[in-house]
Amino acid sequence: MIRFLAIGTIMLITTACSKEKKAQKAANKMQEFVIDISNYARSFDNDFIVIPQNGVELAFNQATTEDGINMPYMNAINGLGVEELFFNGKYSLDKERLDLLNQLKSSKKILVSEYVSANSDNFNAFKLNYDQEFICFVRENSNYNYTLIPDSVPNENNKDIHELQQVENFLYLISTDNFASKTEMIQKISASNYDLIITDLFFNDVAFSETEINQLKTKANGGKRIVLSYINIGSAEKFRYYWKKGWGLHHPLWLKKKYEGYEDEFWVKFWKKEWQDIIFGNDNSYIKKIIDAGFDGIYLDNVEAYYFLYYNN
């Protein structure tokens, strides 16, 4: 019995080490992926904004400076997006990520999306973030999937916003469910005074045009603002234009793992050429479509895919 337990323990340790090595290797590849996307987009527009969501740890991966920061990655991005830093329903501080963000906030803009299950926590979520010099978007139960435009805009202003560092608030709106038409969605966003908009390239499978995106770049009070396109680079979504009939888990092989809680998504081996060709590098790629539509930049979701591919089983 003792011998069996010892062997079992060794197997568990070996398995854990194997997962850690694979996750680390995948993290390196995600760093490279973000850098390559940024270089491609900026070959069309030097000022193109790139913000990875939930990718703060990658700023410290394979450090190139004495203070432990990876400068090629940092130079490729303009800011960092984070979900659920202080609140995940209830107050639930992620101190590890907060400590990392505080090391980076002097050079990069930090955008935080909080989720509060009690509306009474809305004010505290804003305050905790703005006290840290982060800008914040708070969604309540009714807006868990980023479907609504809140009436209240924190730090509302009529300034012209030309650079990410000037942004004092943002709207995160990636679902079209509450809009009867593309025109209605454009009108509702245009009637707001947010400094920065994060929205999807598509409305019901139809891409926004450059003319339509340009409409969104002016606040209701006349000030200019920034418009970013959401794009998922770590998981494939069955409702996207690139999805082909017959695809499913392991078909193609780079559709690696089911995304728990999202039946229409699969974690991908994002380093595979077939997936990267979908995302960037050619005229039919997702990033090129975003550039052609006139967006000021991109908000990269599921950058933490390297972790979920090998952990959380």
Tokens 């394979």 sit on residue: 62
| Paired residues of 170 in beta bridges | 196
**Does residue 7 belong to any structural domain of this protein?**
no
Q: Note down the domain range covering 139.
A: 24-308
Q: Tens of pLDDT along 54-101? A: 999 999 999 888 789 999 999 999 999 999 999 999 999 999 999 999
Global pTM reads 0.93
- Residue 257, CA distances (Å) to 265, 267, 302 in order: 9, 5, 14
Instruction: Using CA atoms of 102, 117, 189, 304 in order, give the dihedral in degrees to the nearest 10.
Output: 50
Q: Identify whether 16 is part of a domain.
A: no
Q: How many domains does the chain have?
A: 1
Instruction: Please check whether residue 8 lies inside any domain of the structure.
Output: no
Chain segment 171-229, per-residue pLDDT in tens: 999 999 999 999 999 999 999 999 999 999 999 999 999 999 999 999 999 999 999 99
pLDDT at 20: 83
43 lies in some domain: yes
Asked if the bond preceding 252 is cis, omega within 30° of 0, the reply is: yes
pLDDT at 131 over 80: yes
Q: What is the model's pLDDT at position 313?
A: 53
Check if the beta carbon of residue 266 is closer than 8 Å to that of residue 256. Answer: yes
User: What's the average model confidence in pLDDT over 3-8?
Assistant: 46
> Residue 244 is which amino acid?
K
In a domain? residue 284: yes
Does residue 13 lie in a domain region?
A: no
Q: Predicted confidence band at 17 (pLDDT cuts at 50, 70, 90)?
A: low
**pLDDT at 14 exceeding the cut of 80:** no
Q: Give the tokens for residue 43.
A: 């070959």
Does residue 313 form part of some domain?
A: no
**Cβ neighbourhood burial of 64 (10 Å; 0-12, 13-18, 19+):** exposed
Residue-wise pLDDT for 259-310, tens only, equals: 999 999 999 999 999 999 999 999 999 999 999 999 999 999 999 999 999 8
Tell me if 260 is assigned to some domain.
Answer: yes
